[in-house]
Every structure is written in structure tokens, then in C-alpha cells.
């Protein structure tokens, strides 16, 4: 445990703080230690966050994510130079497609159409949308970018500038995401490095606007880790106003707070989330209801689309799956019920990062569509759930393959008789690999929950360093024979580390102190 704090509501005795040294990947991760030899070996003491030298963890990671983001923009150069505007398959062949320049024209931003309040002229959008089909806060993000885009010159030039402006704004979101994740667990500042180096982030960051909602959700989790439930709820509510998936973070918090008996904190978070969501949405609901409903109507009525398991079933069987919305909802409910059972039956209360990752992964697996930028939803949660480079790279490898495959499939479909790209059979295999990568990471996380000795964080003696009020809390509600502890017994059941001894990390965890002081009594 990073600290054993006095919790007034538990009535437990105040215990001294244990010293904690920030954990570096090269201390405990064999793959990171091996890879570090390519750049001169493991980091030294001055690489720690908060150190006195300029090159601390945060500055290094910020520079890395800027570099990776820039590489992702370079990857889009063939499209920027013309493929976006040529029609057909060139933008897919180069795997550099982005919604941003297309929607600048097609959703009326170039024509000063006000999102939600003004209808999109039929001459602009051939997709059948009457209003912008994005949540309100994302629509505001798009509108602000259009304000910053000069209106002079050709439409192609303006669309290019609009993409550049959005890329700059999304870069700020990427930097914020790295900093937020590195701050969520005080002892693991280098965990943000995986996000900074993520190939999926570099490739998909400027495909759409999802990174904005991901950064807001990460900010909410940081506030929760600091035991600030109201601020956490407000930020999660704002994230849900930008993208719908952060609502599932409230489900994860609710399950864990129920087991820990922290429903007052959860109630505060839930109320703040609803309030923040209403502040953003209510004015549009009252003044432009039909425009506001476009996103929710589209989400409800959308059929089987690219990237989903339902597409494989539909195309392999020839069944149109007209009821796919009900099937997807039923599968999501079933998976979430299983996650709830895992939460209450686990031998020790799962960490927030683990349950948050699992519920969002359940949405990814069951959804009617999987766009390539959806990988960003899981990125910070995967790092919080399983900060092991090997497992994260296995998952990222599958996602990179899928990123290439979706564009090659679209090139095949849109290439006419040329048939450049990937056929349906190859694309189905890519979807299966993507699902296998997600399910592999889910399986490892579930293993860590059921056998906490495999959990990287709990090997160091911690409970839930990102758990805020959950960290070190007593269990109030558990089920079944799997639970090791009766309700009311604090985590962990065994005695904490001796007073005055630093928390072991990595190989040092196996070495006991020569002359330990008497242990704390829980």
C-alpha cells in the first residue's frame, strides 16, 4: 500500500506513512529493462518525476508524445497533399484517412452552419444527416476549430488548415493525457510513457475527435485518485458530453464503491457527473432539440458496421441482423453482469483501473461498430489496469494490424474493378485479431483480479493507488467462496510492510529487510 491512512468513517487507528520511491519501468519490467539497453541502460535517479534536474519523467514523456504525434501527422501527408480530395481509394491505399477535413465541408463548418441549431443543407451532406451527429461538447470542439480556421482560399486549402488546427488542439489533449496518467499513480510516473510511445495513438489521434473525450475521462480518474469525488464526477460528466463511453466509468465506480461501502462518495460523483452533463446539454435540448437528438437517434438506429463481430456474422451467414441493436445491448449487459460478479466474488477488491478497463472493453467487444480511433478509449485504462509492456504491446500490435486492415478493406470496396486492398476474408481475419488482442488483455486483467499475486501493483504492497477513497478501504459487501476476507476486514489481510522500510519494487520485492521493525497492526 502506498499509504495506510486514517479514515474517520472506518474508525481505524492512524498509522504512519510508509516511504515510497517512484517506480521506473526498468526496475520491474523485464522487457523495459532489456529495451533500455538500446539507449544506454536503465534510467538513473535524476529521471524521477519531481527531480531537480530538467530531464524528469514528465518532461521526457511530453517530448516523446510530441514526437510520436508529429510522426502520426507525417503519416497523413499523402492525404494532406491531395488524396483526401481526389475521391475513390487513394486515401485508403495510403492508410491516411481522416474524418476531420471531410466533415469540415460536409457538416457545414466551412459554410458557417451552427451545429445543432442549423440544418445541414442537402447540397453539403450526402449522408442523410440533417444535423451534426456528434455529442454536444465534441461539436463545440469542432466549432471552435472552425473559428480558428481562416475562411480565405480554396475549399481544399481551408480543409487542410482545419485539419492542422484540429491536430494542434488534439496534440494538447495527447499531452494532457500523458501527464494525467503519469500523475494518477504517484509512485508510477513512468506509466504515461506507454501512452506517449503508443503506435495506435500516433496513427489514430487525428482520425477523429475521440482524444478530447479520452483526456477528459483521464482527468476524472485523476481527480478520483486524489479523493475528490465531486471534481471526478464533473469531469466524467463532461467526458460523457463529448463521447458516450465514459458513462461506463460510473458503472465501474459504482460496483467498487458498493463493495467498499463508499456509496456516499459515489453518490457525490454521480450527482456531479449528471450536473456537468446537463450544464452542457440542457441549453441545446431546450433550444435545438431535433439537432441534439441526431447523435442519439443515429447511435440507436445504426446498423452493423465495420470492425464488429456482428459484421463477420452478417457477412458469413448472409443474415442481415436487423435486430443488431438489441443483440449488442444484450451482450453488453451480459458482459457487465459478469464483471459485476467478478467485482463481488474476487478474493480481494479489484482495482479501479482493472474494472474500468473491463467495462469499456465489454463495450468495444459488443458494439455494432469499431472505428480505428476507438482504441484510444482503452489506452489509458489498459495502462492503469496492466502496466506491463509485453501485454500492452501484444494488444497494440493487433490494433496496428487492424488500423491497416480497415483502410485496405475500404480501398478494396471503393476501388471499383481494380480491387486494390484487402478482401472480405482478410478483413474478417483482421477483426478477429483485433478482438483477440482485446480479449487477451482482458484475460490477463481477470487473472490478476482472481490471483492478486500476479498484479504488478500489488506485488509492491499497494492496494489501489488510483482508487482514491477506495484505497485501503474495508470491504462492506462481498459474495461467495472466492472472497478471502469477511466484510469489515481491511485490505490487505496479511500484515503490511515493516515500519521505516521502503516499498520493494521488482526484483527487490523478493528480498526481506535484514532487521525488520515490528509490523503495523491492521
Per-residue pLDDT tens listing for the chain (522 residues): 444 344 434 444 444 444 456 666 656 656 655 655 555 556 555 544 444 566 788 999 999 999 999 999 999 999 999 999 987 789 999 999 999 999 999 999 999 999 999 999 876 756 678 999 999 999 999 999 999 999 889 999 999 999 999 999 999 999 999 999 999 998 899 999 999 999 999 999 999 999 999 999 999 999 999 999 999 999 999 999 999 999 999 999 999 999 999 999 999 999 999 999 999 999 999 999 999 999 999 999 999 999 999 999 999 999 999 999 999 999 999 999 999 999 999 999 999 999 999 999 999 999 999 999 999 999 999 999 999 999 999 999 999 999 999 999 999 998 765 668 899 999 999 999 999 999 999 999 999 999 999 999 888 778 999 999 999 999 988 886 555 544 444 444 333 433 333 334 333 344 333 333 333 333
How many domains, in total, are found in the chain? 1
* Alpha-helix residue ranges (DSSP H) falling in 261-351: 263-287, 289-301, 309-317, 324-345
Q: Determine, yes or no, domain membership for 496.
A: no
The partner residues of 490 in beta bridges, in order of sequence, read 474
Q: Determine, yes or no, domain membership for 319.
A: yes
Residue 130 CA to residue 332 CA, distance in Å, equals 29
Q: Determine, yes or no, domain membership for 30.
A: no
Give the structural domain span for 172.
55-470
Q: Determine, yes or no, domain membership for 278.
A: yes
pLDDT at 124: 74
Q: Which residues contact 174 (CB under 8 A, 6 or more apart)?
A: 65, 69, 201, 205, 211, 215
Residue 258 CA to residue 253 CA, distance in Å, equals 8
pLDDT at 31: 64
Q: Determine, yes or no, domain membership for 502.
A: no
Q: Determine, yes or no, domain membership for 514.
A: no
pLDDT at 20: 56
pLDDT at 453: 93
Q: Determine, yes or no, domain membership for 490.
A: no
Q: Determine, yes or no, domain membership for 418.
A: yes
Residue 505 CA to residue 253 CA, distance in Å, equals 28
Amino acid at each position: 500500500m502506498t499509504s495506510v491512512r486514517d479514515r474517520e468513517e472506518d474508525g481505524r487507528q492512524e498509522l504512519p506513512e510508509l516511504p515510497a520511491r517512484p517506480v521506473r519501468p526498468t526496475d520491474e519490467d523485464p522487457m523495459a529493462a532489456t529495451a533500455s539497453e538500446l539507449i544506454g541502460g536503465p534510467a538513473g535517479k535524476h529521471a524521477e518525476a519531481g527531480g531537480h534536474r530538467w530531464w524528469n519523467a514528465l518532461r521526457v514523456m511530453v517530448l516523446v508524445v510530441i514526437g510520436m504525434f508529429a510522426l502520426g501527422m507525417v503519416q497523413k501527408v499523402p492525404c494532406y497533399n491531395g488524396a483526401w480530395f481526389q475521391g475513390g481509394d487513394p486515401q485508403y491505399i495510403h492508410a491516411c484517412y481522416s474524418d476531420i477535413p471531410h466533415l469540415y465541408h460536409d457538416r457545414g463548418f466551412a459554410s458557417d452552419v451552427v451545429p445543432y441549431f442549423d440544418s445541414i443543407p442537402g447540397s453539403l451532406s450526402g449522408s442523410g444527416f440533417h444535423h451534426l451527429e456528434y455529442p454536444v461538447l465534441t461539436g463545440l470542439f469542432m466549432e471552435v476549430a472552425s473559428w480558428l480556421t481562416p475562411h480565405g482560399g480554396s475549399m481544399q486549402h481551408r480543409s487542410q488548415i482545419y485539419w492542422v488546427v484540429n491536430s494542434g488542439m488534439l496534440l494538447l489533449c495527447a499531452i494532457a493525457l500523458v501527464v494525467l496518467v503519469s500523475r494518477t499513480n504517484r509512485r508510477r510516473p513512468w506509466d504515461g510513457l506507454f501512452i506517449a510511445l503508443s503506435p495506435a495513438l500516433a496513427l489514430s489521434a487525428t482520425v477523429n475527435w475521440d482524444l478530447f473525450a479520452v483526456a477528459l475521462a483521464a482527468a476524472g480518474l485523476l481527480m478520483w485518485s486524489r479523493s475528490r469525488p465531486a471534481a471526478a464526477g464533473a469531469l466524467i460528466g463532461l467526458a460523457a458530453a463529448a463521447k458516450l463511453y465514459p458513462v461506463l466509468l460510473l458503472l465501474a465506480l459504482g460496483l467498487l464503491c458498493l463493495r467498499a461501502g463508499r456509496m456516499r462518495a459515489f453518490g457525490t460523483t454521480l450527482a456531479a457527473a449528471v450536473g456537468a452533463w446537463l450544464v452542457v446539454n440542457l441549453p441545446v435540448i431546450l433550444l435545438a432539440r431535433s439537432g441534439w437528438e441526431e447523435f442519439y437517434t443515429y447511435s440507436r438506429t445504426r446498423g452493423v458496421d465495420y470492425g464488429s463481430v456482428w459484421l463477420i456474422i452478417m457477412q458469413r451467414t448472409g443474415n442481415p441482423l436487423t435486430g443488431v441493436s438489441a443483440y449488442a445491448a444484450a451482450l453488453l449487459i451480459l458482459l457487465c453482469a459478469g464483471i459485476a460478479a467478478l467485482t463481488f466474488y474476487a478474493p480481494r477488491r479489484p482495482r479501479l483501473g482493472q474494472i474500468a478497463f473491463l467495462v469499456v472493453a465489454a463495450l468495444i467487444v459488443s458494439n455494432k461498430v469499431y472505428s480505428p480511433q476507438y482504441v484510444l478509449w482503452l489506452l489509458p485504462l489498459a495502462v492503469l489496469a496492466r502496466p506491463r509492456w509485453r501485454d500492452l504491446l501484444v494488444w497494440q500490435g493487433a490494433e496496428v494490424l487492424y488500423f491497416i486492415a480497415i483502410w485496405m478493406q475500404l480501398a478494396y470496396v471503393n476501388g471499383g474493378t481494380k480491387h486494390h486492398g484487402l478482401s472480405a476474408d482478410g478483413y474478417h481475419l483482421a477483426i478477429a485479431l483485433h478482438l483477440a488482442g482485446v480479449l487477451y488483455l482482458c484475460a490477463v486483467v481477470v487473472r490478476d483480479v482472481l490471483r492478486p499475486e500476479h498484479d504488478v501493483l500489488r506485488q509492491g504492497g499497494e492496494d489501489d493507488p488510483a482508487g482514491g477513497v477506495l484505497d485501503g478501504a474495508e470491504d462492506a459487501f462481498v459474495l461467495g467462496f472466492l472472497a478471502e476476507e469477511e466484510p469489515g476486514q481491511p485490505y490487505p489481510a496479511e500484515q503490511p510492510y515493516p515500519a521505516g522500510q521502503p516499498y520493494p519494487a521488482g526484483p527487490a520485492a523478493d528480498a526481506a529487510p535484514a532487521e525488520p521493525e515490528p509490523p503495523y497492526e491492521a
